[in-house]
Structure 1
Protein backbone atom coordinates (compact mmCIF):
# COMPACT_ATOMS: atom_id res chain seq x y z
CA UNK A 1 0.00 0.00 0.00
CA UNK A 2 1.15 3.53 -0.66
CA UNK A 3 1.39 4.39 3.05
CA UNK A 4 4.02 1.73 3.72
CA UNK A 5 6.21 2.73 0.77
CA UNK A 6 5.80 6.39 1.72
CA UNK A 7 6.87 5.57 5.28
CA UNK A 8 9.94 3.74 3.98
CA UNK A 9 10.96 6.77 1.93
CA UNK A 10 10.63 8.95 5.04
CA UNK A 11 12.85 6.53 6.94
CA UNK A 12 15.48 6.67 4.21
CA UNK A 13 15.38 10.47 4.37
CA UNK A 14 15.98 10.41 8.14
CA UNK A 15 19.18 8.36 7.95
CA UNK A 16 21.45 11.01 6.32
CA UNK A 17 19.95 13.71 8.56
CA UNK A 18 20.80 11.67 11.67
CA UNK A 19 24.34 11.02 10.45
CA UNK A 20 24.82 14.73 9.73
CA UNK A 21 23.61 15.62 13.24
CA UNK A 22 26.12 13.23 14.77
CA UNK A 23 28.94 14.61 12.60
CA UNK A 24 28.02 18.21 13.45
CA UNK A 25 28.01 17.47 17.18
CA UNK A 26 31.41 15.78 16.94
CA UNK A 27 32.83 18.81 15.10
CA UNK A 28 31.87 21.02 18.04
CA UNK A 29 34.47 19.21 20.13
CA UNK A 30 37.26 20.30 17.75
CA UNK A 31 37.16 24.07 17.18
CA UNK A 32 39.69 24.76 14.42
CA UNK A 33 40.64 21.10 14.51
CA UNK A 34 42.14 21.20 18.01
CA UNK A 35 41.10 18.77 20.76
CA UNK A 36 42.99 20.65 23.46
CA UNK A 37 39.99 22.88 24.25
CA UNK A 38 37.86 19.85 25.02
CA UNK A 39 40.60 18.33 27.17
CA UNK A 40 40.87 21.54 29.18
CA UNK A 41 37.08 21.92 29.50
CA UNK A 42 37.02 25.15 27.52
CA UNK A 43 34.06 24.36 25.31
CA UNK A 44 30.54 25.65 25.66
CA UNK A 45 28.64 23.52 28.17
CA UNK A 46 25.97 22.74 25.57
CA UNK A 47 28.41 20.61 23.58
CA UNK A 48 28.36 18.10 26.45
CA UNK A 49 24.58 17.70 26.18
CA UNK A 50 25.18 15.61 23.02
CA UNK A 51 22.10 17.06 21.31
CA UNK A 52 23.32 16.08 17.86
CA UNK A 53 24.68 12.67 18.84
CA UNK A 54 21.84 11.58 21.12
CA UNK A 55 18.82 13.68 20.13
CA UNK A 56 19.19 14.30 16.41
CA UNK A 57 21.32 11.21 15.83
CA UNK A 58 20.77 8.03 17.83
CA UNK A 59 17.15 8.81 18.80
CA UNK A 60 16.45 9.50 15.12
CA UNK A 61 17.94 6.23 13.92
CA UNK A 62 15.26 4.29 15.81
CA UNK A 63 12.30 5.73 13.84
CA UNK A 64 14.37 5.61 10.65
CA UNK A 65 14.95 1.87 11.16
CA UNK A 66 11.29 1.26 12.02
CA UNK A 67 10.10 3.19 8.96
CA UNK A 68 12.49 1.39 6.59
CA UNK A 69 11.79 -2.18 7.77
CA UNK A 70 8.01 -1.92 7.89
CA UNK A 71 6.68 -5.21 6.55
CA UNK A 72 4.25 -5.37 3.64
CA UNK A 73 1.02 -7.10 4.37
CA UNK A 74 -0.76 -6.68 1.06
CA UNK A 75 -4.50 -6.48 1.63
CA UNK A 76 -4.48 -7.30 5.33
CA UNK A 77 -5.59 -4.01 6.80
CA UNK A 78 -5.71 -5.10 10.43
CA UNK A 79 -2.05 -6.05 10.51
CA UNK A 80 -1.05 -2.95 8.56
CA UNK A 81 -2.95 -0.80 11.05
CA UNK A 82 -1.00 -2.35 13.94
CA UNK A 83 2.29 -1.81 12.13
CA UNK A 84 1.41 1.79 11.37
CA UNK A 85 0.51 2.37 15.05
CA UNK A 86 4.03 1.20 15.87
CA UNK A 87 5.42 3.64 13.32
CA UNK A 88 3.49 6.45 15.01
CA UNK A 89 5.15 5.59 18.33
CA UNK A 90 8.54 5.57 16.59
CA UNK A 91 7.72 8.94 15.03
CA UNK A 92 6.97 10.33 18.50
CA UNK A 93 10.38 9.14 19.71
CA UNK A 94 11.90 10.90 16.71
CA UNK A 95 9.98 14.08 17.50
CA UNK A 96 11.33 14.00 21.06
CA UNK A 97 14.90 13.59 19.79
CA UNK A 98 14.53 16.36 17.21
CA UNK A 99 12.94 18.63 19.82
CA UNK A 100 15.82 18.01 22.25
CA UNK A 101 18.38 18.79 19.55
CA UNK A 102 16.50 21.94 18.51
CA UNK A 103 16.07 23.31 22.04
CA UNK A 104 19.69 22.74 23.12
CA UNK A 105 21.02 24.20 19.86
CA UNK A 106 18.80 27.27 20.25
CA UNK A 107 19.97 27.77 23.85
CA UNK A 108 23.60 27.42 22.74
CA UNK A 109 23.08 30.07 20.08
CA UNK A 110 21.47 32.41 22.59
CA UNK A 111 24.32 32.09 25.10
CA UNK A 112 27.16 32.12 22.61
CA UNK A 113 30.44 30.25 22.92
CA UNK A 114 32.80 29.99 25.84
CA UNK A 115 36.04 31.62 24.80
CA UNK A 116 39.21 33.24 26.09
CA UNK A 117 38.92 37.03 26.35
CA UNK A 118 41.00 39.73 28.01
CA UNK A 119 39.20 38.73 31.24
CA UNK A 120 39.94 34.99 30.87
CA UNK A 121 37.73 32.07 29.89
CA UNK A 122 34.07 33.05 30.01
CA UNK A 123 30.79 33.43 28.10
CA UNK A 124 31.05 37.03 26.89
CA UNK A 125 27.69 37.00 25.08
CA UNK A 126 25.61 35.08 27.64
CA UNK A 127 23.45 37.93 28.94
CA UNK A 128 22.94 39.63 25.59
CA UNK A 129 19.83 37.71 24.54
CA UNK A 130 21.49 36.57 21.32
CA UNK A 131 22.18 40.10 20.05
CA UNK A 132 25.74 39.10 19.25
CA UNK A 133 24.40 37.08 16.31
CA UNK A 134 23.75 40.28 14.37
CA UNK A 135 26.59 42.32 15.90
CA UNK A 136 29.48 40.56 14.19
CA UNK A 137 31.91 43.31 15.17
CA UNK A 138 31.71 42.06 18.79
CA UNK A 139 32.95 38.60 17.82
CA UNK A 140 36.58 39.79 17.99
CA UNK A 141 36.29 39.80 21.79
CA UNK A 142 36.95 36.04 21.64
CA UNK A 143 40.70 35.60 21.29
CA UNK A 144 40.85 31.81 21.58
CA UNK A 145 39.90 29.49 19.96
CA UNK A 146 40.32 31.51 16.79
CA UNK A 147 36.99 32.04 14.98
CA UNK A 148 35.13 30.11 17.68
CA UNK A 149 32.06 32.32 17.33
CA UNK A 150 31.75 31.59 13.61
CA UNK A 151 32.39 27.90 14.32
CA UNK A 152 29.67 27.63 16.95
CA UNK A 153 27.12 29.79 15.12
CA UNK A 154 27.55 27.78 11.92
CA UNK A 155 27.36 24.33 13.50
CA UNK A 156 24.54 25.08 15.94
CA UNK A 157 22.59 26.67 13.09
CA UNK A 158 23.11 23.51 11.02
CA UNK A 159 21.84 21.44 13.96
CA UNK A 160 18.78 23.70 14.22
CA UNK A 161 18.02 23.21 10.53
CA UNK A 162 18.60 19.44 10.60
CA UNK A 163 16.45 18.93 13.69
CA UNK A 164 13.68 21.01 12.10
CA UNK A 165 13.72 18.77 9.01
CA UNK A 166 13.70 15.68 11.22
CA UNK A 167 10.74 17.00 13.19
CA UNK A 168 8.83 17.71 9.97
CA UNK A 169 9.47 14.19 8.64
CA UNK A 170 8.43 12.57 11.93
CA UNK A 171 5.31 14.74 12.11
CA UNK A 172 4.35 13.75 8.56
CA UNK A 173 4.76 10.08 9.46
CA UNK A 174 2.78 10.47 12.67
CA UNK A 175 -0.14 11.89 10.67
CA UNK A 176 0.28 9.27 7.92
CA UNK A 177 0.41 6.43 10.44
CA UNK A 178 -2.65 7.69 12.31
CA UNK A 179 -4.62 8.03 9.09
CA UNK A 180 -3.86 4.43 8.12
CA UNK A 181 -4.21 2.98 11.61
CA UNK A 182 -7.43 4.75 12.51
CA UNK A 183 -9.20 5.13 9.19
CA UNK A 184 -8.11 1.86 7.53
CA UNK A 185 -9.71 2.87 4.22
CA UNK A 186 -9.04 -0.46 2.52
CA UNK A 187 -11.01 -2.30 5.21
CA UNK A 188 -14.15 -0.65 3.98
CA UNK A 189 -13.72 -1.70 0.36
CA UNK A 190 -16.46 -4.18 -0.26
CA UNK A 191 -18.12 -5.49 -3.35
CA UNK A 192 -21.74 -4.50 -3.51
CA UNK A 193 -24.25 -5.99 -5.87
CA UNK A 194 -27.57 -4.56 -6.99
CA UNK A 195 -29.06 -8.05 -6.90
CA UNK A 196 -30.14 -9.33 -3.47
Structure 2
Protein backbone atom coordinates (compact mmCIF):
# COMPACT_ATOMS: atom_id res chain seq x y z
CA UNK A 1 0.00 0.00 0.00
CA UNK A 2 1.21 3.52 -0.82
CA UNK A 3 2.38 5.42 2.25
CA UNK A 4 0.01 8.30 1.45
CA UNK A 5 -2.99 5.96 1.20
CA UNK A 6 -1.88 4.23 4.38
CA UNK A 7 -1.89 7.60 6.16
CA UNK A 8 -5.54 8.11 5.18
CA UNK A 9 -6.35 4.59 6.38
CA UNK A 10 -4.80 5.48 9.77
CA UNK A 11 -6.20 9.02 10.11
CA UNK A 12 -9.90 8.24 9.63
CA UNK A 13 -10.11 5.72 12.53
CA UNK A 14 -8.15 8.20 14.68
CA UNK A 15 -10.88 10.82 14.11
CA UNK A 16 -13.52 8.35 15.26
CA UNK A 17 -11.53 7.17 18.28
CA UNK A 18 -10.77 10.75 19.34
CA UNK A 19 -14.47 11.61 19.16
CA UNK A 20 -15.40 8.50 21.18
CA UNK A 21 -12.80 9.38 23.83
CA UNK A 22 -14.04 12.96 24.19
CA UNK A 23 -17.68 11.87 24.45
CA UNK A 24 -16.90 9.17 27.04
CA UNK A 25 -14.90 11.63 29.16
CA UNK A 26 -17.69 14.21 29.07
CA UNK A 27 -20.34 11.63 30.02
CA UNK A 28 -18.21 10.51 32.99
CA UNK A 29 -18.86 13.91 34.57
CA UNK A 30 -22.56 13.06 34.79
CA UNK A 31 -23.13 9.82 36.74
CA UNK A 32 -26.73 8.65 36.50
CA UNK A 33 -26.94 11.22 33.67
CA UNK A 34 -27.44 13.94 36.27
CA UNK A 35 -25.65 17.29 36.57
CA UNK A 36 -26.03 17.31 40.37
CA UNK A 37 -22.74 15.53 41.09
CA UNK A 38 -20.59 17.70 38.83
CA UNK A 39 -22.16 20.92 40.14
CA UNK A 40 -21.72 19.86 43.78
CA UNK A 41 -18.15 18.59 43.38
CA UNK A 42 -15.45 20.40 45.38
CA UNK A 43 -12.13 19.68 47.08
CA UNK A 44 -13.81 19.43 50.46
CA UNK A 45 -16.69 17.36 49.07
CA UNK A 46 -15.47 15.33 46.08
CA UNK A 47 -18.46 13.84 44.25
CA UNK A 48 -16.50 12.72 41.18
CA UNK A 49 -13.45 10.49 40.94
CA UNK A 50 -10.06 12.12 40.41
CA UNK A 51 -9.54 10.08 37.23
CA UNK A 52 -12.58 11.74 35.62
CA UNK A 53 -11.12 15.19 36.39
CA UNK A 54 -7.72 14.22 34.94
CA UNK A 55 -9.59 14.30 31.59
CA UNK A 56 -7.52 11.55 30.02
CA UNK A 57 -10.12 10.94 27.33
CA UNK A 58 -10.59 14.63 26.50
CA UNK A 59 -6.95 15.73 26.54
CA UNK A 60 -4.97 12.56 25.87
CA UNK A 61 -7.32 10.47 23.75
CA UNK A 62 -9.05 13.49 22.21
CA UNK A 63 -7.03 16.65 21.55
CA UNK A 64 -3.61 14.96 21.52
CA UNK A 65 -4.93 12.50 18.93
CA UNK A 66 -7.05 14.87 16.85
CA UNK A 67 -4.18 17.25 16.01
CA UNK A 68 -1.86 14.45 14.78
CA UNK A 69 -4.79 12.85 12.91
CA UNK A 70 -5.34 16.07 10.95
CA UNK A 71 -1.66 16.24 9.90
CA UNK A 72 -1.55 12.51 9.13
CA UNK A 73 -4.64 12.91 6.95
CA UNK A 74 -3.04 15.84 5.11
CA UNK A 75 -0.10 13.62 4.14
CA UNK A 76 -2.56 11.48 2.14
CA UNK A 77 -3.86 14.40 0.06
CA UNK A 78 -2.29 16.32 -2.81
CA UNK A 79 -1.26 19.27 -0.71
CA UNK A 80 1.63 20.81 1.12
CA UNK A 81 2.10 17.80 3.43
CA UNK A 82 2.02 15.03 0.81
CA UNK A 83 5.78 14.84 0.47
CA UNK A 84 8.84 13.49 2.27
CA UNK A 85 8.99 16.49 4.59
CA UNK A 86 5.33 16.07 5.52
CA UNK A 87 5.84 12.38 6.20
CA UNK A 88 8.85 13.20 8.38
CA UNK A 89 6.75 15.65 10.40
CA UNK A 90 4.01 13.06 10.70
CA UNK A 91 6.43 10.88 12.69
CA UNK A 92 6.66 13.61 15.34
CA UNK A 93 2.91 14.20 15.33
CA UNK A 94 2.28 10.47 15.63
CA UNK A 95 4.68 10.34 18.59
CA UNK A 96 2.60 13.06 20.29
CA UNK A 97 -0.44 10.89 19.59
CA UNK A 98 1.23 7.90 21.24
CA UNK A 99 1.95 9.99 24.35
CA UNK A 100 -1.68 11.19 24.45
CA UNK A 101 -3.00 7.65 24.01
CA UNK A 102 -0.76 6.35 26.80
CA UNK A 103 -1.98 9.12 29.10
CA UNK A 104 -5.62 8.29 28.33
CA UNK A 105 -4.95 4.57 28.76
CA UNK A 106 -3.20 5.06 32.11
CA UNK A 107 -5.96 7.29 33.50
CA UNK A 108 -8.65 4.83 32.36
CA UNK A 109 -6.78 1.88 33.89
CA UNK A 110 -6.41 3.66 37.24
CA UNK A 111 -10.08 4.72 37.09
CA UNK A 112 -11.11 1.11 36.60
CA UNK A 113 -8.84 -0.13 39.37
CA UNK A 114 -9.97 2.42 41.97
CA UNK A 115 -13.67 2.30 41.14
CA UNK A 116 -16.28 5.06 41.28
CA UNK A 117 -17.16 7.60 43.93
CA UNK A 118 -20.57 6.96 45.45
CA UNK A 119 -22.66 6.93 48.61
CA UNK A 120 -22.22 3.63 50.42
CA UNK A 121 -22.78 2.15 53.85
CA UNK A 122 -19.61 2.17 55.96
CA UNK A 123 -18.69 -0.52 58.51
CA UNK A 124 -20.23 1.56 61.29
CA UNK A 125 -23.58 1.53 59.48
CA UNK A 126 -23.50 5.20 58.44
CA UNK A 127 -23.94 6.17 54.82
CA UNK A 128 -20.96 8.17 53.54
CA UNK A 129 -19.70 9.47 50.20
CA UNK A 130 -16.41 8.00 49.07
CA UNK A 131 -14.70 5.31 47.03
CA UNK A 132 -15.48 1.92 48.55
CA UNK A 133 -13.36 -0.05 46.06
CA UNK A 134 -10.21 2.08 46.11
CA UNK A 135 -8.22 -0.43 48.18
CA UNK A 136 -9.51 -3.52 46.38
CA UNK A 137 -6.77 -3.45 43.69
CA UNK A 138 -9.49 -3.88 41.09
CA UNK A 139 -10.77 -7.15 42.57
CA UNK A 140 -14.30 -5.75 42.65
CA UNK A 141 -14.38 -5.92 38.85
CA UNK A 142 -14.63 -9.70 38.97
CA UNK A 143 -17.10 -9.78 41.86
CA UNK A 144 -20.39 -8.38 40.58
CA UNK A 145 -22.13 -9.08 43.89
CA UNK A 146 -20.15 -6.23 45.50
CA UNK A 147 -21.37 -3.64 43.00
CA UNK A 148 -24.52 -3.06 45.08
CA UNK A 149 -22.25 -1.49 47.71
CA UNK A 150 -22.77 1.81 45.88
CA UNK A 151 -26.23 3.11 46.74
CA UNK A 152 -26.16 6.45 44.89
CA UNK A 153 -25.75 7.17 41.98
CA UNK A 154 -27.70 4.16 40.79
CA UNK A 155 -25.68 1.66 38.72
CA UNK A 156 -22.59 3.87 38.98
CA UNK A 157 -20.23 0.88 38.93
CA UNK A 158 -21.58 -0.29 35.57
CA UNK A 159 -21.54 3.34 34.38
CA UNK A 160 -17.85 3.79 35.22
CA UNK A 161 -16.91 0.31 34.04
CA UNK A 162 -18.48 0.80 30.62
CA UNK A 163 -17.04 4.25 29.97
CA UNK A 164 -13.54 3.66 31.35
CA UNK A 165 -13.35 0.33 29.49
CA UNK A 166 -14.30 2.11 26.27
CA UNK A 167 -11.61 4.72 26.93
CA UNK A 168 -9.10 1.95 27.61
CA UNK A 169 -9.82 0.15 24.33
CA UNK A 170 -9.92 3.40 22.34
CA UNK A 171 -6.58 4.54 23.80
CA UNK A 172 -4.96 1.18 23.03
CA UNK A 173 -6.13 1.36 19.39
CA UNK A 174 -4.97 4.98 19.13
CA UNK A 175 -1.51 4.03 20.39
CA UNK A 176 -1.29 1.18 17.86
CA UNK A 177 -2.44 3.35 14.95
CA UNK A 178 -0.05 6.17 15.85
CA UNK A 179 2.74 3.61 16.18
CA UNK A 180 1.95 2.34 12.69
CA UNK A 181 2.02 5.92 11.39
CA UNK A 182 5.49 6.41 12.83
CA UNK A 183 6.65 3.41 10.78
CA UNK A 184 4.64 4.54 7.75
CA UNK A 185 6.06 8.06 8.08
CA UNK A 186 9.58 6.67 8.13
CA UNK A 187 8.95 4.75 4.91
CA UNK A 188 7.25 7.80 3.39
CA UNK A 189 10.21 9.97 4.34
CA UNK A 190 12.66 7.56 2.72
CA UNK A 191 10.64 6.37 -0.28
CA UNK A 192 8.14 9.19 -0.85
CA UNK A 193 4.34 9.19 -0.78
CA UNK A 194 3.71 7.47 -4.15
CA UNK A 195 2.52 10.80 -5.54
CA UNK A 196 3.63 11.96 -8.95
CA UNK A 197 3.99 15.42 -7.46
CA UNK A 198 6.03 14.26 -4.50
CA UNK A 199 8.44 16.97 -3.46
CA UNK A 200 11.16 17.05 -0.84
Q: Same fold (TM over 0.5)?
A: yes
- 2:53 is the counterpart of 1:48: yes
Give, in angstroms, the shift of residue 155 of structure 1: 0.4
Give the gaps of 5 or more residues in structure 2: 42-46, 123-127, 195-200
**Alpha carbons of 1:173 and 1:145: their partners in 2 closer, same or farther (altered >3 Å)?**
same
**Alpha carbons of 1:71 and 1:19: their partners in 2 closer, same or farther (altered >3 Å)?**
closer
1-side partners of 2:77 and 2:53: how far apart?
41
Give, in angstroms, the shift of residue 10 of structure 1: 1.0
SS in 2 for 1:143: strand
| Deviations 1:53-89, CA, capped at 9 Å, x for gaps | 1110111111110011126579xxxx82221110101
| Deviations 1:10-42, CA, capped at 9 Å, x for gaps | 111111110110000011011111010111221
Give the gaps of 5 or more residues in structure 1: 187-196
Name which structure has the greater RCO, CA cutoff 8 Å, separation 6+.
Answer: 2
Match of 1:154 in 2: 162
Q: Indicate which of 137, 143, 146 corresponds to 2:151.
A: 143
Structure with the largest fraction of helix: 1
TM-score by length of 2: 0.85
- 2:64 is the counterpart of 1:59: yes
Return the index of the structure with the highest Cα Rg.
1
TM-score by length of 1: 0.87
On the 8 A contact 2:75/2:83 being kept in 1, the answer is: no
Match of 2:74 in 1: 69
Taking the TM superposition and a 5 Å limit, the aligned residue runs for 1:111-190 are 111-119=114-122, 120-182=128-190
Aligned length: 182
SS in 2 for 1:54: helix
- 2:89 is the counterpart of 1:86: yes
